[in-house]
Amino acid sequence: MRDMITIEKPDMTAVVSEYEPLVDQANELVICDMESHAAALEGYKYLKKAIKAIRDHYEPARKSLDTAKKELLASRDKLIAPFERAMQIVNGKVDIYEKEERRKAEEKARVEAEAERKRQEDARIAEAEAAEKAGDDELATEIIERPIEVTPAPAQPETLAKVAGVSSRIVYHAEVDDPTALLRFAASVDWGVSLINPNMPALNALARQHKEKLSIPGVRAVSEISRPVR
């Protein structure tokens, strides 16, 4: 049996019909003297009243909807939680295994590369000795001075399973461990501003405190007129 959640949408007909003319009046408004200025402020007050009336009309339904949503999501998350914990456990064990297998593969590749380097070194020495015995010292020197280039094979573990629908990739993210050093770097390059996210709540608080006297390089106090309606 399923639990039913029913939310009734408010009937806004009366509220809209009462306040809707205010929108047209605002579009047609012209302020040219004290009388029209007063009329504009009265209209502003009634627009604010209209917004409050609409919000108040929707408030019971909004509260019911929020409560129902919280209960629904809480029920869902309660069921999901043990599976998420189990996934974290499995993922942690998989990570440990994969890291160890990659380490083994990298060590194997390193050993094989070193063995190949030694093989090339021994072959080079033997070739140089043969040239020296043949009396060609210049060739022997040239052979000895040849660089040995060994490119390690990609370390691909052969012990990692491939399961359809499951893939893995290495993902990187940044952590700031020295904010001061980051700021110095950001100031030293022309694109560094993109690395810095200003703390606007703190800057706004300083602007409210100091107003026009705010004195911070790169920051200015901007004023706006607020019109509270009672």
Considering the domain boundaries, does residue 142 fall inside one? yes
Considering the domain boundaries, does residue 228 fall inside one? no
Range(s) of the domain holding residue 126: 13-156+189-213
CA 46/CA 38 separation, integer angstroms: 13
Q: Which residues pair with 216 in a beta bridge?
A: 219
How high is the pLDDT of residue 1? 44
Considering the domain boundaries, does residue 227 fall inside one? no
Considering the domain boundaries, does residue 218 fall inside one? no
pLDDT tens for the chain, residues 1 to 230: 456 767 778 788 888 888 888 888 888 889 999 999 999 998 899 899 888 988 898 898 899 889 989 999 999 999 999 999 999 999 999 999 999 998 998 898 888 889 988 998 888 888 888 888 888 888 888 888 888 888 777 777 888 888 898 888 878 889 999 989 998 999 899 888 888 888 999 999 999 999 999 999 889 999 988 878 77
How high is the pLDDT of residue 200? 92
Considering the domain boundaries, does residue 1 fall inside one? no
Number of domain units in the chain:
1
Query: Please, what's the b/e burial string for 144-163 (b: 16 or more CB within 10 A of its CB; e: otherwise)?
Result: eeeeeeeeeeeeeeeeeeee
Q: What is the pTM of this model?
A: 0.58
DSSP 122-158: HHHHHHHHHHHHTT-HHHHHHHHTSPP---PPP---T
Considering the domain boundaries, does residue 204 fall inside one? yes
